[in-house]
Every structure is written in structure tokens, then in C-alpha cells.
Amino acid sequence: MAGTPSTVRTNSRLIKWIDTRLPLFTFVQDAAIDYPEPRNLNYFWNFGSLAGTMLVIMITTGIFLAMQYTPHVDYAFSSVERLMRDVNYGWLLRYIHMNGASFFFIVVYIHIFRGYYYGSYKEPRELLWMLGVVILLLMMATAFFGYVLPWGQMSYWGATVITNLFTAIPVIGNPIHTWLLGGFAVGNPTLNRFFSLHYLLPFVIVGVVGLHLIALRQHGSNNPLGIAVKGPQDEIPFHPYYTIKDMFGLGVFLVIYAIFIFYLPNALGDPQNYIEANPLQTPPEIVPEWYLLPFYAILRSIPDKLIGVLALFASIFILFLLPWLDTSRVRSSYFRPIHKWVFWLLVIDVFALGTVGAHRPEGAYIVVGRIATFYYFFHFVILLPLIGWFERPLPLPESIAAAVTKKTAAAPGAAQSGAVS
């Protein structure tokens, strides 16, 4: 037999036979068993694999929901109610999927803030980061389309408000709006195409996640110290060290997720969505799902339609520029005495925006909303480049191994990284 025989470690001749022809086992061995990872990864590095798990959960439950769901304005709401009452375990599938969207976003937001704190977007991982932002955008679109499907009041009016964002575009805005809806208002053609897109986009996400992982493997994972791996002494194999760590984190995560599914299934949703859509009655207040609130607050804080819509999109697209807005050459905030604190200002700011987004734009909420919107952009466009120039980073340890084995004050990262001890 020509070509190289399989190098997969097994005694099974069948596996060797298959692997020589279709190297799946070698792939798994290289990617998930022998794969070397920095030895000092902390629990924030669990969130990547958690996000992957959530994607699988969403696609699996979604496929079974779609078997019961009817994408027609006259039947959509009742088909979801039937799913909840008559279909065996339909309520479970739906609650897993509905709360899954929330938990998917929690995981991904922590994953993003992790990357921000440890400078994982810096050279040479810029494209890895940007692919992540693409995934975030696709997730937002997917969740938006999904939320329209149960055809409750919030589904309908959320869809109306979000699709109307496009009418802010001069000249071509209105034709684009009609084209998106397939009619003059959100209606049956809209529901049909949103169902089609809601089914499609998760698989597009799978594709982009693939690219994200290819880019990840090119330079390997970043780590809490933000310094590059210098040799085998800085690394440990993925299995068993990180397989067990990922499994443990997954267990803790699933317990929390299950508490919501079984005991608080509607805590994160809006009761308005259990009222069937009524095109003649706008609910007293339209609020998107919690994971979109900060961006919604930015939209509402600006009393000009076009600028408000531009600011909304800019607040997400600015993340694409992060690798170049951060001028510091040091990755990890452990070694950045100023940025370490400024990081938390952004976290507080995003929470403030989220709170503002959930309330009617009145009184103090308007003021806080405007200040927080201003700060959001100020943080990225002004503060970040300036800090990079003026801040004097702490001295970096000479290697990961040196930092984690020498438990002295020299490496602030060492004491906190629970990965190896």
C-alpha cells in the first residue's frame, strides 16, 4: 500500500486500516489529544468550548422544534402553544432552545471580554478575533429571526422596529425595507423568510466557527500571561489536562443552565410574547431580549434617526478595529497597570447601557444613556490608543514555565492561573 501508514496510537487493526484511508482518527489525535496548549490557561479559557457546545445544543433542539412549528401568521403562535401543551416534551425542547439563546450569549460575551482582557486580539491573532466578531453578528441575526417565530407581540413589534432601522438609509432605505419584509409591513412573507433564515444561519455559523478554529490553530491559544509559548516546557497536552478541565466547567455550566430550564424558564423572556401578535396595537413598551439591550440603548440615546442607527452598527463594528485601536504591545492586562482598571470601566459601561435599554427613555435614563453611549465610543477611540502610548507596562516574565513554577511576586499571573498546580 503506497503512502504513509497511520500513526494513530491504537492496537486495533480496523482503526489503523480506516485511518490509513480516511485519517479521522489522526485528526482527533492531533487536534484534541496531543494538541499542545499553554500550561497556564485559567477557567476563562473554558468559554470557547462552551460556546461550541451551545451551538450544538441550539441546532439539535432547533431541528426538532422545526418538526412541530408552522411558519404562517395564522398558525405560528398556536403551533408554539401546541408544542408547549400537546407535544411530548415539547415544553422541554422549547425551554432548552429559548434559554439556550440567552446562555449562548452569556458564554460568548464572557468569551469576548476574556479576549479583551488578555489581549487575545493582538498580532498575530487579528483575523481570529475578527472572525469572532462575524460570529457575534451572525448570532445576533439568528436570535433576532428566531425570536420572531413564536409570533407574539414582542416578536412582531421587535421585527417591525429592527427592520425599520434600514429605512434610515437615504434614498434606497425604503425599497430595501419593503424587499426585506416582502410586503409593506411585517407579515406572512416576512415570517416565512425569517424561518428560512433562522434555519440557515446557524449552519453558516458552523462554517465561520471552522475558520475561527483554523485561525486559532495557526498560532495556538493565547494565555493569561499574554506571552508567547517558547518551547515544550511551556505546554501540556490537551488530553487529559484540558479535556477534564473543560468537562468540569461544562458540568457547572449545565447545572446553572438546567436551573433556568426547569425552575425559571421564562425569567429571561418578556411576558408580552405570550400574547399573539396584533399589528394594530403596539405594546406599551418594546424591549428586545436582554442580550441586545446595550446596543438598543445606544440607538435610543441619540435623538436623530440616521445617527442613532449608525451608532448602533458602529458599536459592534468598532470591535473589528480593536486590534489596531489598542496600541499597547503588551497583551495581557496583568502587566498593564492602567488598562487593568479601565477594562472594568467598559464592563460597567456595558451594564449601564443594558439597564438603560430596558427602561423607557425618560428622566435619568436619558442622561445615563447618553453618558454611557459617549463613554463606549470614547473608550475605544480615544482612551485605548492613548493608554497604549502612556502606560508603562510591568516587566514580562521570561517564559510561561518560569512564571508558573516560580511562585514569587514576579509574575502576578502565576498565583491566579488555576490550570496547573
Partner 1 sequence: MADLAHGKPGAGTVPLADHAPTTRRDFLTVAGYAIAAVGAVCVAWPILDSMNPAADVLAAGAPVDIDLSRVQPGQQIVVLWRSRPIFVVNRTPELLKTLQDPRDISLLSDPNSTAPQQPEYATNWHRSIQPQYLVLVGICTHLGCIPSFMPQPNSVSPGWLGGYFCPCHGSRYDLSGRVYSGVPAPYNLPVPPYRFLSKTMIRIGENPPDGGDFSLESVEQI
Site string for partner 1, 199-238 (x = CB under 8 A): ----------------------------------------
Work out which of 217, 305, 329, 406 binds partner 1, going by CB under 8 A. Answer: 305
User: Of partner 1, ligand HEM, none, which one does residue 53 interact with (CB within 5 to 8 Å by kind)?
Assistant: none
Q: Which helix (H) or strand (E) holds 178?
A: helix 173-181
- Residue 36 phi/psi, 5-degree rounding, is -80, 135
Q: Tell me how far apart the alpha carbons of residues 70 and 86 are, in angstroms, rounded to a whole number.
A: 15
Q: Which residues are CB-contacts of 414 (< 8 A; sequence separation ≥ 6)? A: 40, 403, 404, 406, 407, 408
- Name the burial class of residue 320, with classes exposed (0-12), middle (13-18) and buried (19+) by CB atoms within 10 angstroms of its CB: middle
Nearer to ligand HEM, 102 or 221 (CB): 102
Contact 308, 302 (CB under 8 A): yes
User: What does 419 bind: partner 1, ligand HEM, none (CB cut-off 5 to 8 Å by kind)?
Assistant: none
**Smallest Cα–Cα separation from 368: which of 387, 395, 388, 348?**
348
Q: Which listed residue (12, 218, 266, 281) binds partner 1 by CB under 8 A?
A: 281
Q: Which CB atom, from 173 or from 265, has the smaller least distance to partner 1? A: 173
Total number of residues that touch partner 1 (CB under 8 A) = 37
Residues 6+ apart with CB under 8 A from 238: 32, 33, 34, 35, 36, 37
Helix axes 153-164, 173-181, angle to 10 degrees: 150
Question: Residue 224 binds which entry of partner 1, ligand HEM, none, with Cβ cut-offs from 5 to 8 Å by kind?
Answer: none
Could you tell me the smallest distance in angstroms from the CB atom of residue 250 to ligand HEM? Answer: 18
Supply the DSSP symbol for 149. T
Interacting residues with ligand HEM between 47 and 106 (CB under 6 A): 55, 58-59, 62-63, 65-66, 69, 80, 94, 97-98, 101, 104
- Work out what residue 161 binds among partner 1, ligand HEM, none; the CB cut-off runs from 5 to 8 Å by kind: partner 1
What does 39 interact with, of partner 1, ligand HEM, none (CB < 5 to 8 A by kind)? none
Task: Determine the Cα–Cα distance for residues 163 and 157; give it in Å rounded to an integer.
Answer: 10
Nearer to partner 1 among residue 140 and residue 411 (C-beta): 140
Given ligand HEM, partner 1, none, residue 178, with its beta carbon under 5 to 8 Å by kind, binds partner 1
- Dihedral angle sign, alpha carbons of residues 323, 325, 329, 332: negative
C-alpha cell at 195: 424561518
Using CB distances below 5 to 8 A depending on partner kind, what does residue 8 bind out of partner 1, ligand HEM, none? none
Among 57, 84, 161, 228, binds partner 1 (CB under 8 A): 161
In sequence order, the β-bridge partners of residue 235 are 38
CB 138, min distance to partner 1, A = 19
Select the binding partner of residue 59 from partner 1, ligand HEM, none (C-beta < 5 to 8 A, by kind).
Answer: ligand HEM
Site string for partner 1, 168-197 (x = CB under 8 A): ------x---xxx-xxxx-x-x---x----
Contact partners, residue 314, CB within 8 Å, separation at least 6: 377
Using CA atoms, how far residue 246 sits from 14, 43, 97, 243, 377, in Å, is 30, 8, 22, 5, 35
Q: What is the dihedral of CA 147, 151, 155, 160, to 10 degrees?
A: 120
The C-alpha cell at 273 is 410574547
306 belongs to the binding site for partner 1 (CB under 8 A): yes
Site residues, ligand HEM (CB under 6 A):
55, 58-59, 62-63, 65-66, 69, 80, 94, 97-98, 101, 104, 139, 142-143, 146-147, 149-150, 198-199, 202, 205, 269
Site residues, partner 1 (CB under 8 A):
157, 160-165, 167, 174, 178-180, 182-185, 187, 189, 193, 279-286, 300, 302-306, 308, 360-362
